[in-house]
């Protein structure tokens, strides 16, 4: 917290405002009946339900403010607050008190909407994590760090940052996304500024695509309105319906749409498209006796892009996003080799404070399947599900 930002609020005031919010009768005259009379009467059950919801919502919010307040008073007892999820169906009069509370809350914390969503942009942390926790991805590490650092160093970029991650499953696309979110936002992927869409989960039925379009547009707009620097992640991008890709185009293309400025937003597309061509390039490279760390973006990116444009059966390659160069970088994730799998296993043990030996790491790495058939160089699953596999080696 910035020191100049700290403003103490009398203890009683938080409690008092919360109390006001919980007493609708105090603010709304209703034929002389108290609110619990109305709540008890079955004929006005609807009112009772609304009231219950309202109390639940207010209680959750007050708990949050209270937690923050008590953190200031008794920092030693302070844990990370849980995010309150609220149903914004409160009547107008209580909105007024909520506004007073949230204005106070936002005067001492950084807010978007009513939630805390601090943007941390910890580039040092990002750099450290990408170099220590991500294995076997020298290209992704370099390109992502450079792009993000460059993008964030400009106060008003010309357009949003759009990166497309490509590679086999388990090579670290989701892992990097998490690292990014963790270092750009205090609450990481949980932040209100971060929206993750998984094609098969969020857009499963083609016949509802019109509904998805509207929802997506609204969600992108609202998030950027609240946060400015918002992060949107589209996992399984190869399965995004074409018309949804078109829906996204204006956001990636123009600086502003309507009243909202999208230039500080970040869009990530994750897919396994082009994974085979990446693997082929790396395989040939290794067979020629060169080290994989010598592969450069110039060796890979043009072939990757050509492959994405060419593969007939995918929407992503055929979308205007790719054709009109709206994507800043195609980031290749290379296939992982035996020694990378060992590193992932080591991290998994360390992450759970468990002892390991070199022998155990070998045992874990040997459980996986390696391809191609002859060379057996690359883990078919990457580092996926390593943390489940180490369960077998627990004492
Ligand atoms: C940035 O991240 C690093 C590593 O996670 C951490 O040690 C450091 O305290 C962070 N810096 C800030 C300003 O949060």
Cβ atoms of 252 and 159 closer than 8 Å: yes
Residue 113 Cβ contacting ligand 1 at under 6 Å: no
Beta strands in the chain (DSSP E): 111-112, 115-116, 161-167, 194-198, 231-235, 256-257, 260-261, 266-271, 329-333, 370-371, 378-379
Of the candidates 285, 280, 282, 309, the residue with the CA atom closest to the CA atom of residue 164: 309
- In b/e form, how buried is each residue of 95-109, taking b as 16+ CB within 10 angstroms? eebbeebbebbeebb
State whether 315 and 177 are in the same domain.
Answer: yes
Atom of ligand 1 nearest to the CA of 120: 14
- Total count of domains within the chain: 3
Q: What pTM value is reported for the model?
A: 0.74
Kindly report the protein residue whose alpha carbon is nearest to atom 5 of ligand 1.
125
Residue 121 Cβ contacting ligand 1 at under 6 Å: no
Of the candidates 277, 297, 331, the residue with the CA atom closest to the CA atom of residue 134: 331
Cβ atoms of 197 and 203 closer than 8 Å: yes
What is the 121 CA–ligand 1 centroid distance (Å)?
10
Give the C-alpha separation, 349 to 359, whole Å: 13
Give the C-alpha separation, 132 to 298, whole Å: 24
Domain-ending residue, one of 108, 142, 169: 108
What is the 183 CA–ligand 1 centroid distance (Å)?
8
State whether 211 and 321 are in the same domain.
Answer: yes
Residue 188 Cβ contacting ligand 1 at under 6 Å: no
Domain-ending residue, one of 283, 313, 332: 332
State whether 254 and 301 are in the same domain.
Answer: yes
Give the C-alpha separation, 250 to 261, whole Å: 11
Cβ atoms of 148 and 180 closer than 8 Å: yes
Cis peptide before 392 (omega within 30 of 0): no
Give the C-alpha separation, 383 to 333, whole Å: 12
Of the candidates 212, 318, 314, the residue with the CA atom closest to the CA atom of residue 272: 314
At residue 74's C-alpha, the angle toward residues 68 and 79, to 5°, is 55
Kindly report the protein residue whose alpha carbon is nearest to atom 4 of ligand 1.
125
Q: What is the CATH number of the domain that holds 269?
A: 3.40.50.300
State whether 226 and 297 are in the same domain.
Answer: yes
State whether 156 and 289 are in the same domain.
Answer: yes
Residue with tokens 């919980």: 22
Task: Give me the tens of pLDDT residue by residue for the chain, a chain 395 residues long.
Answer: 333 334 444 555 655 655 565 554 433 434 444 433 343 444 444 555 555 665 666 666 666 666 665 655 555 555 544 443 343 445 555 666 666 666 666 555 555 555 556 888 999 999 999 999 999 999 999 999 999 999 999 988 999 999 999 999 999 999 999 999 999 998 899 888 999 999 999 999 989 999 999 999 999 999 998 888 999 999 999 999 888 998 999 898 876 767 788 999 999 999 999 999 999 999 999 999 999 999 999 999 999 999 988 876 677 877 877 878 899 999 999 999 999 999 999 999 999 999 999 999 999 999 999 999 999 999 999 999 898 888 888 77
Cβ atoms of 133 and 179 closer than 8 Å: yes
Q: Is residue 307 part of a domain?
A: yes
SS3 256: strand
The range of the structural domain enclosing residue 388 comes to 338-393
State whether 167 and 316 are in the same domain.
Answer: yes
H or E segment at 304? helix 297-310
Domain-ending residue, one of 332, 349, 382: 332
At residue 366's C-alpha, the angle toward residues 364 and 371, to 5°, is 130
Cβ atoms of 353 and 140 closer than 8 Å: no
């Amino acid at each position: 917290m910035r020191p100049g930002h700290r403003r103490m609020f009398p203890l009683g005031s938080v409690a008092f405002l919360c109390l006001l919010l919980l007493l609708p009768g105090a603010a709304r005259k209703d034929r002389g009946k108290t609110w619990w009379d109305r709540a008890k009467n079955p004929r006005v059950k609807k009112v009772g339900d609304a009231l219950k919801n309202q109390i639940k919502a207010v209680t959750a919010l007050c708990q949050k403010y209270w937690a923050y307040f008590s953190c200031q008073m008794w920092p030693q007892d302070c844990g990370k607050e849980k995010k309150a999820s609220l149903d914004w169906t409160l009547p107008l009069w209580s909105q007024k008190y909520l506004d007073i509370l949230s204005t106070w809350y936002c005067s001492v914390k950084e807010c978007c909407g009513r939630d805390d969503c601090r943007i941390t942009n910890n580039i040092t942390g990002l750099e450290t994590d990408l170099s220590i926790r991500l294995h076997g991805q020298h290209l992704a590490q370099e390109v992502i760090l450079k792009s993000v650092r460059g993008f964030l160093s400009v106060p008003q970029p010309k357009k949003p940052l759009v990166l497309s991650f490509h590679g086999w499953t388990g090579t670290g696309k989701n892992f990097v996304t998490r690292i990014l979110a963790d270092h750009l936002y205090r609450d990481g992927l949980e932040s209100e500024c971060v929206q993750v869409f998984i094609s098969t989960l969020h857009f499963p039925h083609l016949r509802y695509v019109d509904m998805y379009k509207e929802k997506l547009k609204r969600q992108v707009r609202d998030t950027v309105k609240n946060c400015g620097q918002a992060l949107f992640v589209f996992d399984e991008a190869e399965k995004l319906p074409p018309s949804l890709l078109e829906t996204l185009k204006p956001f990636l293309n123009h600086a502003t749409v309507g009243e909202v400025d999208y230039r500080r937003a970040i869009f990530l597309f994750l897919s396994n498209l082009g994974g085979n061509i990446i693997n082929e390039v790396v395989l040939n490279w290794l067979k020629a006796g060169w080290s994989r760390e010598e592969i450069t973006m110039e060796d890979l990116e043009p072939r990757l892009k050509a492959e994405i444009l060419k593969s007939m059966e995918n929407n992503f390659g055929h979308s205007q996003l790719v054709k009109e160069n709206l994507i800043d970088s195609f980031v290749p994730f290379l296939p992982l080799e035996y020694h990378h799998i060992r590193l992932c296993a080591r991290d998994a043990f360390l992450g759970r404070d468990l002892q390991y030996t070199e022998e155990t790491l070998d045992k874990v790495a040997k459980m996986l399947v390696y391809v191609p058939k002859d060379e057996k160089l690359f883990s078919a699953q990457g580092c996926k599900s390593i943390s489940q596999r180490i369960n077998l080696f627990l004492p």
